[in-house]
Amino acid sequence: MSNGWGSGSRSSWLVAAALLAAVALANCGGGGSSPGTGPGDSTTYTITATAGSHGTITPAGATTVAQGGAQSYSIVPDTGYTFETLVVDGASVATVSAYTFSNVQADHTIAATFVTAPAGNNIVPSLVPARTSGVAPLSVFFDASGTTDAGVSRPFHELEYTWSFGDTNAGTWSYGTRVGASKNAATGPVAAHVFETPGTYTVSLTVFDGTYSATTSTTITVLDPEVVFAGANTVCFSTSANYAGCPAGATQVQSSDFDAAINTHHNTNRRLLFRRGETFTASASGTIDKTGPGIIGAYGSGTARPIAKIVAGGAFPIIQLSGPATPGIGDWRVMDFEIDGSSVLSSDVSGIGAFGGFNQFLGLRLNIHDIWRGVAAGTSILDWWNNNGSPGHTIFDQWAVVDSTITALPGCNSPGNYNCDWRILLDAARVNIQGNSLDNQDTGGSHVIRSGYIGKGVIANNTLARAGDFQLAIKLHAAGWAIAGVANPGGVGTYTEQVVIADNKIIGGINPWTISLGPQDEISDERARDIIVERNWFTAGSASQLHMHINSSETTIRNNICDLSGGAYHTCVGVDRWGITPAPVNVRVYNNTMYSGSTGDFVGVEIGTATDTIVRNNLASAPNATGPVMISGAGTGLVQSNNLLNNTPSALFVSVTPSAPADFRLRALPNPARDTGFAAVPVLSDFFLTLRPQNGAIDIGAVEGP
């Protein structure tokens, strides 16, 4: 049998993995230090973990930990049960779903017991806004990850979170899978919104567990920029001395020098507006090193943006956000601007670069093109741009890139030129990447979105297209687990975690993998957990082999439409350990639709070295494939049921040759995918946000039929 990740083509995957590892090393200049104990540091201790019935603790049993090291545990009650006790070293502690022993200097024990959850509505919603006030446009990150439900074992994954931002002027999405849908609504345990109109907004969160719901709310106050930046606090720049549309009382400056305009006039409580349709030249970085609030934006009529264009031979970020190692600078917006890199081939060019601690940044409605690195948070948390975290800076917080168009540098993809360009390279906490068109165009570039760390994030409603050679549309890894630095004080490991990737259209390209959650390469111990990948529409490029490469734990893959037609090989989800990072644990693959209209291999879900994977209610069809397989491999503790491989699309879908999401709607009965799903799967709505079930029994696949 031949399939996309198993026998017959496994050698192709090994070659692809080796190339990806080589590219990662080339990108980072060597991959950093391998974790482990140093010379002379050979003392180890044992931590013994036990769980009573109706719950689990991971890892269970005895675990050896080096002196000074750390060990984290995940404690999960079974569905319908809740914590009774959590006992550490013989003493009761607060019951939590995750516990970490840090700086281990002795043997330890940890034990959990569980009891039946009380009947009735046990949902306790938690709504934490990152900020409650600020000047428009105001990007706010909302965190509901603290929500609990005594009857639900994994509330981050198993409850449905619905948001209303109270913003009737929000507009609609232009990219992703929900084009035309209101920005005023969102789903997920973390969410984010940009408030563009001054006023007071009531933001509501409703949490639903399939039977009961609970609602809570908070208030966001958005200040008027015309008041905050009144008079001389606004400066208008024009190359032609045309100040029509410049706010009354503003300072007026005739200049075409972009960096001088920024460097001379930016300050706290300052708005810098450039004339629409005019071009301003950057011969150095325009550096923001004063705390906000502040805006770099546009004035004048029409839709043309002002242009910041780098001079020939330039080697610097066009806009530089610069703060101290400890943040005290931030709260700036760059909006309604075109940033032109002039096709300057230099690794030192970026559209927007950041160094030091810089928080609360919003890039809104930007058009960035012909840039070596696109939008780059150049010096991030703990990576090769930040000297492995030493001396480093505190982690960026509350960064947003919204409603922007960022395209590749044409002709940049020469052989071996893997560092050519990232669309967005950003390591931060509380990240908001929404509503963007990010395209490497198969002509150049590296990853479309790459992050060496996200601590809570939303990547949603984007169109992400055509990553470069052996690069990915989304690549999420983390800080080196045992490398001391800003992200890991004392060498205590930090996860990339609590990230929602939803409602994106993700287009494959000349790379074998489309997204990867886990380490950047085979020699880095970089860990990710609590990630949700839902309602995305994947399409293949000519070299696509695998759409979702999963080496993250506590990860839910649900309601995605995975079209592999036209790819080199055809595997939708791969769950496997890659390199030295621990094997993924508790990955859930629920209610996805997987399809290929091509000849060759086909595998719906490939499972390698992984523990406690659950695969249920997935629908696959590969009418032209040779020996198609729904599930290949098992790992340890695989649970699978109610998955359907049916190679007659006319029996399943409203279209015989489906190519768009609407084509994957289920045809009427008789249909083997209708009413045949596993009822207890916590997937409460479908790809189109239709409530499940519609007629008393859940359907198989990403789309619930009426």
Does residue 416 register a pLDDT over 80?
Answer: no
Does residue 482 register a pLDDT over 80?
Answer: yes
Tell which wins on pLDDT, 81 or 277.
277
Residue 344: its pLDDT value, please? 58
> pLDDT band at 33, cuts 50/70/90?
very low
The answer regarding whether domain 44-115 maps to CATH 2.60.40 reads yes
Instruction: Specify the 3-state DSSP secondary structure of 384.
Output: helix
pLDDT digits (tens, 9 = 90+) for 543-579: 889 999 999 999 999 999 999 999 999 999 999 999 9
Residue 392: its pLDDT value, please? 64
Task: Round the average pLDDT of the chain to a whole number and report it.
Answer: 87
Residue 303: its pLDDT value, please? 94
Tell which wins on pLDDT, 76 or 376.
76
Flag the least confident range among 168-172, 405-409, 474-478. Answer: 405-409
> pLDDT band at 497, cuts 50/70/90?
very high
Flag the least confident range among 88-92, 132-136, 510-514. Answer: 510-514
Residue 423: its pLDDT value, please? 67
User: Domain locations in the chain?
Assistant: 44-115, 123-223, 224-342
Flag the least confident range among 233-237, 270-274, 375-379, 577-581. Answer: 375-379
CA distances from residue 572 to 3, 140, 514, 667 in whole angstroms, order as listed: 11, 34, 10, 23
Residue 561: its pLDDT value, please? 98
The closest of 527, 524, 529 to 27, measured between CA atoms, is 524
pLDDT digits (tens, 9 = 90+) for 95-113: 877 788 888 999 999 999 9
Does residue 6 register a pLDDT over 70?
Answer: no
**Mean pLDDT along residues 488-504:** 89
Is 27 in contact with 6 (CB distance < 8 Å)? no
Fold: same for 44-115 and 123-223:
yes
> pLDDT band at 592, cuts 50/70/90?
very high
> pLDDT band at 131, cuts 50/70/90?
very high
Residue 5: its pLDDT value, please? 36
Spatial distance between the Cα atoms of 603 and 611, rounded to a whole number of angstroms: 19
Does residue 73 register a pLDDT over 90?
Answer: no
Q: What is the pTM of this model?
A: 0.88
Tell which wins on pLDDT, 700 or 419.
700
DSSP 522-567: TT--B-EEEEEEES-EEE--TT--EEEEE--EEEEEES-EEE-TT-
> pLDDT band at 37, cuts 50/70/90?
very low
CA distances from residue 13 to 255, 534, 582, 597, 598 in whole angstroms, order as listed: 55, 25, 20, 21, 19
pLDDT digits (tens, 9 = 90+) for 665-688: 999 999 999 999 999 999 999 999
Report the C-alpha dihedral over residues 58, 64, 70, 72, rounded to 10 degrees. Answer: 0
Architecture label for domain 123-223 = Sandwich (2.60)
For 272-293, give the secondary structure using H, E and C: EEEECCCEEEECCCEEECCCCC
Spatial distance between the Cα atoms of 133 and 130, rounded to a whole number of angstroms: 10
